[in-house]
Structure 1
Amino acid sequence: MKLHITNETSKLKSVILGVANSNGPEPKLEDAYDPKSIKHIKEGTYPEEADMIQEMEQVAVILKKHGVEVLRPRIIENYNQIFSRDIGFVIEDKFIRANILPDREKEIKAIDFVLESIPADQKIKLPDNCHVEGGDVMPHGDYILVGTYRGEDYADYITARTNRQAVEELQRLFPHKIVKSFNLRKSNTDPKANALHLDCCFQPVGDKYAIIHRNGFLEEEEYNWLVNLYGQDNVLEIDAQEMFDMNSNIFSISETVVISDDYFTRLNAWLRSKGIQVETVNYREIAKQEGLLRCSTLPLRRA
């Protein structure tokens, strides 16, 4: 397996797309990992497996239409394997295994057939004290952009998934890169005030554009740094409702093609106005688990 990821938008060659088959029963409230899932469990609107399978297959069809190699995890009975982004990520030619929530450890074993095809010196397992999930990590040319939470109460937030030790370890592993971290807003109870990962409040698109939600960032100067990186005219600001709906969690097949939810009418119109082809799917059921298109994809190779 050849690995190559240096940014979020170059032509996609190979990706692991999660699976919703045998997703398991609706979780108990005390077992839910995020406030959005908790909301839907309480309201009796938690997604049905059949609907999520259909939504994910739409994505597989689009990816294959654009010539992308689509790999799927081995199905584990009664286990949620939708969000493949959480279990690992690629930077340059290295696969970094994420240190995810202990209850989700089985997910990495479901892609053993992929990992076995990667040379040993290209696989990295971070030290146990480094907490990180792929939704917080974005290679961006000379930069590695990383969402984190720096509060002393980090351990109190099940929504805090990447710590400062992981940020420091990424800088050690990639000394030729600038690892830029962003202190994200966390809430265990309010899904409109919780940036679960960096890709829940920020997303590069095309060759010079970005989607961003200001209130996802605790530090104003870090938000401003991102806006200045792209230029205000190249940034689409999304509000709290749009962040809740997961507008920043679309997925790029290339600099000129993205997959988006057809529910995102304002976003999709903006993307098309910038010359970007928008392939749309209905991902409303999967969105109920506080994840969308970027969350359910793990890119292995881009051009």
Structure 2
Amino acid sequence: MLALNIKNETSRLRAVVLGIANSNGPTPTAEEAYDPKSLEHILAGTYPKEADMIREMDAFHRVFEKYGVRVFRPEIRENYNQIFTRDIGFVIDDVFIKSNILPDRAREVEAIQYVIDQINPAKVVSPPEEVHIEGGDVMLWNDYIFIGTYKGSDYKDYITARTNVQGVQYIKDLFPHKKVKEFDLIKSKIEARDNALHLDCCFQPVGDNKAIIYKRGFREEADYLFLLDLFREENLFHISRKEMYHMNSNVFSIDSNVVVSERKFTRLNKWLRKNGFVVEEIPYAEIAKQEGLLRCSTLPLIRD
């Protein structure tokens, strides 16, 4: 049995589900795009090639092997995008929560069923139909659970709105002892530079007391100020609109002092090293074209 344990984003990682890019399927049509960044690359003819994405994910896998992390991969489903495992489920404490994701993506959950079968069934929960929540919007910070959401009355019109207020309430009910704090995110169906698809597209903690943040990703300044107060100005790395677009906040921590980052994130990687982090740089720019990066392609199961 897998003894799940996830209480934050940065403790030493022991087991993870890493997505897979094999048999990723043909380039989607514009109508099939789930987000504005994929749409942009579909229309420009620059949508990533499967071989390039496999190479990038293999590089990520090798970093996990270097640190002795147990890695699970989804079973391959022919011609199907299975890169972003963070969307399909997430762990809080010792509970595995299945996401209610877009119906077109249901087979992604089936592909990791063999992993879910290794978890105590009493610790696996499936939210009711009206609850929308995806792992990219859920961030653990010890006593806190941070959740990205979209509170606009036009929620149902936005394919980029992935977690609703019922999702926030569901987590509050499931973990009454935690401090659940929601953040209303900026969404756009047409401009990726103004679309925080998930919370990890505009914010993520690193180490014991630091974080990467994009101020304009939050619809309410009060939400940004809350994080500013919690982490303190000197511990925050503020990213630009362009850096947000390239997904600088979507790195991944293997330990409190080890961060896996995209090799082109020069400004961020320099700041991380200056603050004592070991930075494992890998190529991930092709996968980033689908509006997801390192955190998006992982589903952590066990941290110390």
The answer to whether TM tops 0.5 is yes
The amino acid of 1:264's aligned partner reads F
Q: What's 1:115 paired with?
A: 116
Q: Distance in 2 between matches of 1:115 and 1:26?
A: 30
Report the 3-state secondary structure (helix = DSSP H, G, I; strand = E; otherwise coil) of the residue aligned with 1:108. Answer: helix
Distance of 2:131 and 2:228 partners within structure 1: 28
2: CA distance, partners of 1:111 / 1:123:
13
Q: Distance in 1 between matches of 2:289 and 2:134?
A: 19
User: Equivalent residue of 2:38, what SS?
Assistant: helix
Q: CA deviation at 1:139?
A: 1.2
TM-superposed CA distance for 1:261, in Å, is: 0.3
SS at match of 2:140: strand
SS at match of 1:147: strand
Q: Using the alignment, how far apart are the partners of 2:59 and 2:228 within structure 1? A: 32
Question: In the aligned structure 2, how far is the partner of 1:166 from the partner of 1:280?
Answer: 34
Describe the superposition over 1:138-190 as per-residue Cα deviations: whole angstroms up to 9, x where unpaired: 11111100000001000111000000001001000000001100000000000
Cross-structure match for 1:103: 104
Aligned equivalents of 1:227 and 1:103: distance in 2? Answer: 37
Q: Which letter does structure 2 place at the counterpart of 1:195?
A: A
1:172 counterpart letter in structure 2: D
**Deviation (angstroms), 1:9:** 0.1
Structure 1 letter corresponding to 2:133 = V
Alignment partners' CA distance in 1, 2:208 and 2:145: 17
Structure 2 length as normaliser, TM-score?
0.99
Report the Cα distance in structure 1 between the residues aligned to 2:111 and 2:190, rounded to whole angstroms: 31
Shift of 1:120: 1.1
List alignment gaps of at least 5 residues for structure 1: none
Please name the residue that 2:186 is paired with. Answer: 185
Aligned to 1:236: 237
Matches within 5 A, 1:104-183: 104-183=105-184
Give the match for residue 195 of structure 1. 196
* Aligned twin of 1:40: 41
* Structure 1 residue 20 corresponds to structure 2 residue 21: yes
- Aligned equivalent of 1:68: 69
The residue type equivalent to 1:219 in the other structure is E
Match of 1:10 in 2: 11
Q: 2:225 aligns to what?
A: 224
Unaligned ranges ≥5, structure 2: none
Q: Is 1:80 the equivalent of 2:56? A: no
Deviations 1:4-62 (A, max 9, x none): 00000000000000000000000010010000000000100000000000000000000
Separation of aligned partners in 1, 2:121 and 2:67: 30
Partner of 1:256: 257
Q: 1: distance between equivalents of 2:159 and 2:103?
A: 12
What one-letter code is carried by the residue in structure 1 that aligns with 2:226?
W
Deviation, 1:85, is 0.4
SS class of match (2:255): coil
Q: What's the counterpart of residue 286 of structure 2?
A: 285
Q: Which amino acid aligns with 1:235?
A: L
SS of equivalent residue, structure 1 residue 100? coil
Alignment of 1:267-286 (within 5 A): 267-286=268-287
The equivalent residue for 1:214 is 215
Secondary structure of the structure 1 residue equivalent to 2:115 = helix
For 2:240 and 2:219, locate their aligned partners in 1 and report how far apart those are by CA, in whole Å: 15
1:253 partner SS: strand
Distance 1:132 1:100 in 2: 7
Letter in 1 for 2:296: C
Between the aligned partners of 2:60 and 2:263, the Cα distance in structure 1 is: 12
Give, in angstroms, the shift of residue 228 of structure 1: 1.1
Calculate the aligned-residue CA RMSD, in Å.
0.4
| Deviation, structure 1 residue 2 | 1.1
Runs of 4+ in 1 over 2 A off after TM superposition: none
Q: TM-score, normalised by structure 1?
A: 1.00
Residue 105 of structure 1 aligns to a residue in which SS? helix
Alignment partner of 1:104: what SS? Answer: helix
Partner deviation per Cα, 1:111-134 (whole Å, 9 max, x = no partner): 011011111110010011000110
The Cα of 1:227 is off from its aligned counterpart by: 1.3
Q: Partners of 1:227 and 1:101 in 2: how far apart?
A: 33
| Distance in 2 (alpha carbons) for counterparts of 1:47 and 1:78 | 14
Identity of aligned residues (%): 58
* CA–CA distance in structure 2, aligned partners of residues 119 and 262 of structure 1: 38
Structure 1: which amino acid aligns with 2:121?
A: A
CA displacement 1:62-116 (0-9 Å, x = unmatched): 0110010011000000000000000000000000000000000000000011011
